[in-house]
């Protein structure tokens, strides 16, 4: 690990690699690496239903390492080297690891409470600050009323 990676690990307060055993690790990716994986997957997938498999393979090509070196040099090589089940299982492990190390503000009890509050509150058009305008222009009954 380079000095800058150590600095970021300390700054971010988390692990950067997940040990899978037998010298294999999954590492967290930078935003640029994830973007590159998505672009590679877009070029690799020929149909819409292939996109998820190709995206996972391209992500693993960047995240899966053996003894600190990438196990595969591309998403295509990952597809050639692993079974679909292995790609899916490893991608799920990487996603779980990423969520644990980089929790989203959209997850957790506080976020669930906010989502519920926003989804169940009654809302009306022009309520609140704009309601003074309705006093000057009262709504007219529609046709058939």
pLDDT tens for each residue of 77-105: 999 999 999 999 999 999 999 888 877 66
pLDDT (mean) for 129-139: 56
Does residue 142 belong to any structural domain of this protein?
A: no
Does residue 139 belong to any structural domain of this protein?
A: no
| Residue 1, C-beta contacts closer than 8 angstroms, at least 6 positions apart | 9, 16
DSSP 72-106: -SSHHHHHHHS-HHHHHHHHHHHHHHHHHHS--TT
Distance CA 116, CA 108 (A): 12
The boundaries of the domain holding residue 77 are 3-106
Collapsing DSSP to helix, strand or coil, 2 comes out as: coil
Identify which has the larger pLDDT, 72 or 143.
72
- Quick one: pLDDT at residue 100? 86
Does residue 75 belong to any structural domain of this protein?
A: yes
**32-61: per-residue pLDDT in tens?**
999 999 999 999 999 989 999 999 999 999
Does residue 132 belong to any structural domain of this protein?
A: no
Paired with 69 in beta bridges are 66
- Quick one: pLDDT at residue 74? 96
Count of domains observed in the chain: 1
Q: What is the CATH number of the domain that holds 61?
A: 3.30.2220
Q: Give the model's confidence band at 9: pLDDT under 50 very low, under 70 low, under 90 confident, else very high.
A: very low
Distance CA 109, CA 106 (A): 9
Does residue 72 belong to any structural domain of this protein?
A: yes
Q: How high does pLDDT run on average in the chain?
A: 79
Does residue 56 belong to any structural domain of this protein?
A: yes
Does residue 111 belong to any structural domain of this protein?
A: no
Q: Give the DSSP letter of residue 29.
A: -
């Amino acid at each position: 690990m380079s000095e800058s990676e150590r600095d970021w690990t300390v700054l971010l307060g988390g692990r950067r690699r997940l040990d899978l055993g037998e010298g294999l690790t999954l590492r967290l990716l930078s935003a640029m690496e994830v973007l590159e994986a998505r672009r590679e997957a877009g070029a690799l997938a020929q149909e819409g239903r292939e996109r998820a498999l190709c995206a996972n393979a391209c992500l693993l090509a960047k995240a899966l390492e053996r003894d600190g070196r990438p196990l595969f040099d591309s998403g295509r090589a990952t597809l050639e080297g692993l079974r679909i089940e292995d790609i899916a299982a490893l991608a799920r492990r990487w996603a779980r690891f990423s969520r644990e190390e980089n929790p989203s503000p959209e997850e957790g009890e506080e976020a669930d409470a906010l989502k519920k509050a926003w989804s169940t509150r009654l809302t009306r058009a022009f309520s609140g600050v704009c309601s003074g305008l309705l006093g000057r222009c009262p709504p007219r009954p529609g046709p058939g009323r």
